[in-house]
Structure 1
Amino acid sequence: MHLASHKIALSLLFAMCTMPAFAEEDTTLPTAGKLTGSFAVVNKYIYRGGVENDDVALQAGLEYALQSGVSVGYWGSTLDYDPSDDSEGKDHGFEHDFYVAYGNEINQNWSYKVQGTAYYYQDGGTVYGEDGDKRKTTAFDVLGELAYKDLTLAASVMLADASFANAGDVYLSAAYSYALPQNFMLNTSVGTSIYNSSRDDSIIETKNDVVFSEARMGVSKEIANTGATASLDYVVGGKDRVGEDFDDQVVFGLNFSF
């Protein structure tokens, strides 16, 4: 999937679902004053049903937890397309996500998090449409999460128009994980996108205001004494904002945390 139907398959999720890459982040609150990081290799990068990289993707992240539940972080991934108009034959790119989050526990079962994220695409620049329309590839959104034990409900809202999204696009999601024997984890998720068609132009066209984006079911397992976690997810594809179907996908991953 390319930029017009990519990262903002923003959806309404009513179910128990997923093991998140960036959308698949651990909802455990970080310890104040601690720097954590990760490096992952996946056979493909699928985000909200759309293909960001149909080849092997390298992904990495860093997060520093400050006092009082505040954290700042970075996450990045290789892409198999160039998001700019001026691609000059390039068939690859890089996504950089910078975020600030605040989270805390309500009690031993309930927790919450609010996060603002800036999405920057290396050499992305500006995309031009007809009638003088133009949009930056850079995007900004805000995310809210509410977790009860292993169930997490989330909603994100796009704050400004971008080359692949309209301001006001919403993605609602639900994720559920369950411990299995032999230290395996079952990870499930489901999602639906709500698109703001009132801001359509020659670059963004919306034919479906509300669509099912994806559902996931998978397993993961920590590899003893390595700091690595192996995962396998089956992704059921939904639709994008113009009504095109996403293919079902199988995603293998190996994530190293420190």
Structure 2
Amino acid sequence: MHDLSAKTIALLLTFVSLPTFADEVHPLGAGELTGSASIVNKYIYRGGVENDDVALQAGLEYAHPRGFLAGYWGSTLDYDATDDSHHSGFEHDFYLGYGRKINADWSYETKITSYVYQNGGSVYSEDRTEKRRTTGFDVSNSLNYKNLNLGLAVLLADVSYGNAGDVYLSAGYDYALPQDFTLKTAIGASIYNDHGDNAVVQTVKKSTFSEARLGLTKALGNTGVELAFDYVWGGKNRMGESFEDQTVIGLNYSF
């Protein structure tokens, strides 16, 4: 694994240390088990298409009263990370984290996530002289003020889709509307580390706008079910290739 750049380390340490000014903080609440199940017409992640067909997704999380949390999230894919002849796959995300409420308005969370692709292993260059594993790890941090969320994620190891030290910055804001509607907005940008480039992963753009989202959700009473609509403006990837704009429609159930 290549060393993180000085700039990346400074960003990460600054972000993680933001909440430490509070001597007295309060846990996020009583320990509880929560979950979700969704069906969406497509799965878009940071502007890129992970599944251009109907995707089934589900997650489960346990939050301890002292702020520790552990969870899982998974989704069907329309590709196999290591075999181009397969048109289906599955993504498994496992994470451990810690979150606290600073006061009524401010909270934060940090977590480490492992991204595991079913039947994954390694991706090889065309001449098979170089390879990268598909399983990746990142550390992500979020700082929340009321309905505003700021996020920073750093890739921790070289993988088939990125280099250690790649940074993703995001911001999102939710606004409650009448009749149980919620307006959701989000934007994301990537800063790429090219020090680990090889025949599998190459970097042309050092930084890119990744995506912007404008969405609307409608809660269906107290059923835990909501309808969701997102329009996604696509940015570019590390090669400078443009993502297409996308419309994502889904049905989500939370418990």
Q: TM-score, normalised by structure 1?
A: 0.86
Which residue in 2 is equivalent to 1:91?
Answer: 87
Per-residue CA distance 1:18-72 (angstroms, 9 max, x = gap): xxxxxxxxxxx86433111110000000000000000000000000112310010
Which residue in 1 is equivalent to 2:240?
Answer: 243
Whether 2:77 is the aligned partner of 1:79: answer yes
Gaps of 5+ in 1: 1-28
| In 2: Cα distance, 1:131 partner to 1:225 partner | 54
Which residue in 1 is equivalent to 2:64?
Answer: 66
Q: How does 1:93-172 map to 2 (within 5 A)?
A: 93-129=89-125, 130=127, 132-172=129-169
Per-residue CA distance 1:122-148 (angstroms, 9 max, x = gap): 001111124721111000000011011
CA RMSD in angstroms, aligned pairs only: 1.2
| In 2: Cα distance, 1:217 partner to 1:225 partner | 24
Which residue in 1 is equivalent to 2:13?
Answer: none
Q: TM-score, normalised by structure 2?
A: 0.87
Q: More deviation in 217-226 or 67-76?
A: 217-226
Gaps of 5+ in 2: 1-26
Per-residue CA distance 1:67-102 (angstroms, 9 max, x = gap): 310010000000000101x45x31110000000110
Which residue in 2 is equivalent to 1:257?
Answer: 254
Please report how far the alpha carbon of residue 201 of structure 1 lies from its aligned counterpart in structure 2 after TM superposition.
0.2
| Relative contact order higher in (CA < 8 Å, ≥ 6 apart) | 1
Give the counterpart letter for 2:231 in structure 1.
Y
| In 1: Cα distance, 2:64 partner to 2:104 partner | 21
| In 2: Cα distance, 1:151 partner to 1:256 partner | 23
Q: What is the total number of aligned residue pairs between the two structures?
A: 228
Among all aligned residue pairs of Structure 1 and Structure 2, give the percentage whose two residues are the same amino acid.
Answer: 59
Contact persistence 1:190–1:214 (CA under 8 A): yes
Give the counterpart letter for 2:54 in structure 1.
V
Contact persistence 2:150–2:170 (CA under 8 A): yes
Per-residue CA distance 1:115-168 (angstroms, 9 max, x = gap): 100000000111112472111100000001101111010100000000001000
SS of 2:237's equivalent? coil
Contact persistence 2:28–2:101 (CA under 8 A): no
| In 1: Cα distance, 2:81 partner to 2:29 partner | 36
